[in-house]
Structure 1
Amino acid sequence: MFKGLGQMGDMAKMMKTAKEMQTKMQQLQDDLETMTVTGESGAGLVKATATAKGELKALDIDPSIFDPNEKEVVEDLILAAIKDAQARAAEKHQEEMGKITEGLGLPADFKMPF
């Protein structure tokens, strides 16, 4: 299509690639809001569910851990489950970003500025 135009053809290709990346990034941002991950602690006694963007959506606590004498243990389990969910959300986010960058011919570990 741009044969013989030299660098103009390269510029058009870069612009097209940039537009594709912008569209895919917007779709990914939308998708990350609906993708969920679940982190857990205490062998599943506490589960935290978050979006792939890291927003906490739900907390499920097995009633068997409610012992007034073990308040600190329960708090630690809750925090551990939330941290696990956040770590899984970050991993999922990175995984999905990797799919986009690879699809555009960029290295899988390419870090986007956002």
Structure 2
Amino acid sequence: MLKGLGGLAGLGDMGKMMKAAQEMQSKLAELQEELARTVVVGEAGAGLVKARVTAKGEVTGLDIDPTILVPSEKEVIEDLILAAIKDAQGKATARHAEEMRKMTEGLGLPADMKLPF
């Protein structure tokens, strides 16, 4: 009768799997929204330059101490800005990975499982 589909018990398992997949999709969407709102700050030059980046990696702002705004130090300032952005992006990547690890463990999945983002 329904042998090809694994019998009625198999259909119940399929329903559970579909529900779990929908829950995971919902949690992934919530996490994406949270990561877009989460801001980390990277620094360079002992805090003279700070970059704000979302946990998804989008640069949202820079803070530059006005004492370093000397035209002859243009290259140093540019280097500090890049260093602050890279620091912030590294922190954002780490935060993203940590949140993903927490979520996969919460769903009972292996911590190193790669999800679609």
Please, what TM-score do these two structures have when normalized by structure 1?
Answer: 0.89
Equivalent of residue 107 in structure 2, options 104, 107, 113: 104
The size of the alignment, in residue pairs, is 111
Give the whole-Å Cα distance in 2 for the aligned partners of 1:113 and 1:56: 22
1:77 equivalent in structure 2 = 80
Equivalent of residue 33 in structure 1, options 29, 36, 39: 36
Give, as a single letter, the amino acid of the residue that structure 2 aligns with 1:23. S
1:23 equivalent in structure 2 = 26
Does 76-85 or 5-14 show the bigger shift? 5-14
Give, as a single letter, the amino acid of the residue that structure 2 aligns with 1:50. V
RMSD of aligned alpha carbons: 1.4
Q: Secondary structure at the match of 2:110?
A: coil
1:73 Cα shift?
Answer: 0.8
Equivalent of residue 49 in structure 2, options 39, 42, 46: 46
Q: Which runs of 4+ in 1 moved over 3 A?
A: none
Aligned-residue sequence identity (percent) comes to 66
Structure 1 residues not aligned, in runs of 5+: none
Q: Greater Rg, structure 1 or structure 2?
A: 2
Structure 2 residues not aligned, in runs of 5+: 1-6
Please, what TM-score do these two structures have when normalized by structure 2?
Answer: 0.87
Give, as a single letter, the amino acid of the residue that structure 1 aligns with 2:52. T
